[in-house]
């Protein structure tokens, strides 16, 4: 169910155990060859495919409530590149909190922040951690954050021709996915070089901005992208998202293990 197509009366008739999906992404630079709306376009396509899927209990579309995609993300680390837009970190935390608490106010109990941008991972986790403390006396809440490419699926197992072994930024994966759905928006990639993603101080975490790591804006190997690889990625990521929605639908309302 798509929230933007419903009246408030229709929403009010829903079971409060209906999972509410809040998609969050970004508008930020994606190198010389991809549009700034890449993260939002890709998450939107993953959600569209998941929404249209059938599962053992029927069409997913009738079992979850999906809000419009929130395209403004925490993208401060990309602001050196013109065209990038960002909510500052603390403003972004407040925005996420308000969106979740809107649904808690109306009695919904199962809420997923479904993310499509790396910079949103920590804020989404922090917001739900804080909200859970605020509503600590409610034991029927399922507050979940997830990033679609980190749900366990491994496209490289399905297509060994993938050069990279993980999603990076404006990389082989993201470039392939945009090639699959909007090829006319992809610039030349043949002469792009691999920008490594190794962190010399790992496993410690080093604070960074994108220009510390890449002066051109991409990280990874977009020169190896193909539309076929993009279809593989979408297939894997859609399956992962549907599986997570199924878990939320089937939760018994009390157990720690979902």
Q: What is the CATH number of the domain that holds 86?
A: 3.40.50.10310
- Domain residues for the domain of 224 are 3-197+214-247
pLDDT of residue 57 exceeding 70, the answer is no
The confidence score (pLDDT) of residue 257 equals 83
Specify if 119 maps to a domain: yes
pLDDT digits (tens, 9 = 90+) for 76-110: 999 999 999 999 999 999 999 999 999 999 999 99
- Per the DSSP assignment, residues forming a β-bridge with 134 are none
CA distances from 248 to 113, 145, 177, 194 (A): 12, 12, 27, 39
Specify if 255 maps to a domain: no
Quick one: which of 187, 148, 188, 146 has its CA closest to 167? 148
What total of structural domains would you count in the chain? 1
The confidence score (pLDDT) of residue 37 equals 98
Give the pLDDT band of residue 56 (cuts 50, 70, 90).
low
Specify if 146 maps to a domain: yes
More confident residue, 57 or 31: 31
pLDDT digits (tens, 9 = 90+) for 201-219: 888 988 999 999 999 999 9
The whole-chain average pLDDT of the chain stands at 96
Specify if 36 maps to a domain: yes
Is the whole-model pTM more than 0.85?
yes
């Amino acid at each position: 169910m798509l929230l933007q197509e419903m009246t408030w009366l229709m929403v009010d008739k829903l079971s409060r155990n209906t999972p509410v999906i809040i998609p969050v992404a970004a508008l930020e630079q994606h190198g010389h060859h991809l549009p700034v709306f890449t993260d939002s376009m890709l998450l939107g396509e993953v959600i569209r495919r998941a929404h249209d899927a059938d599962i053992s209990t029927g069409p997913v579309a009738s079992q979850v409530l999906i809000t419009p995609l929130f395209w403004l993300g925490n993208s401060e680390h990309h602001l050196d590149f013109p065209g990038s837009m960002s909510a500052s970190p603390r403003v972004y935390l407040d925005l996420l909190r308000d969106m979740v608490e809107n649904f808690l106010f109306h009695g919904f109990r199962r809420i997923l922040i479904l993310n499509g941008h790396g910079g949103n991972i920590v804020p989404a986790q922090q917001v739900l951690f804080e909200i859970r403390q605020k509503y600590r006396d409610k034991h029927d809440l399922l507050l979940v954050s997830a990033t679609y490419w980190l749900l366990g699926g491994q496209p490289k197992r399905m297509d060994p021709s993938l050069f990279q072994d993980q999603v990076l930024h404006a990389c082989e994966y993201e470039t392939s996915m945009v090639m699959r759905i909007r090829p006319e928006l992809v610039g030349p990639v043949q002469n792009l070089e691999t920008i490594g993603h190794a962190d010399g101080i790992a496993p410690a975490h080093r604070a960074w901005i994108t220009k510390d790591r890449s002066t051109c804006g991409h990280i990874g190997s977009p020169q190896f992208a193909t539309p076929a690889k993009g279809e593989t990625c979408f297939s894997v990521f859609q399956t992962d998202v549907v599986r997570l929605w199924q878990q939320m639908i089937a939760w018994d309302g009390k157990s720690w293990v979902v």
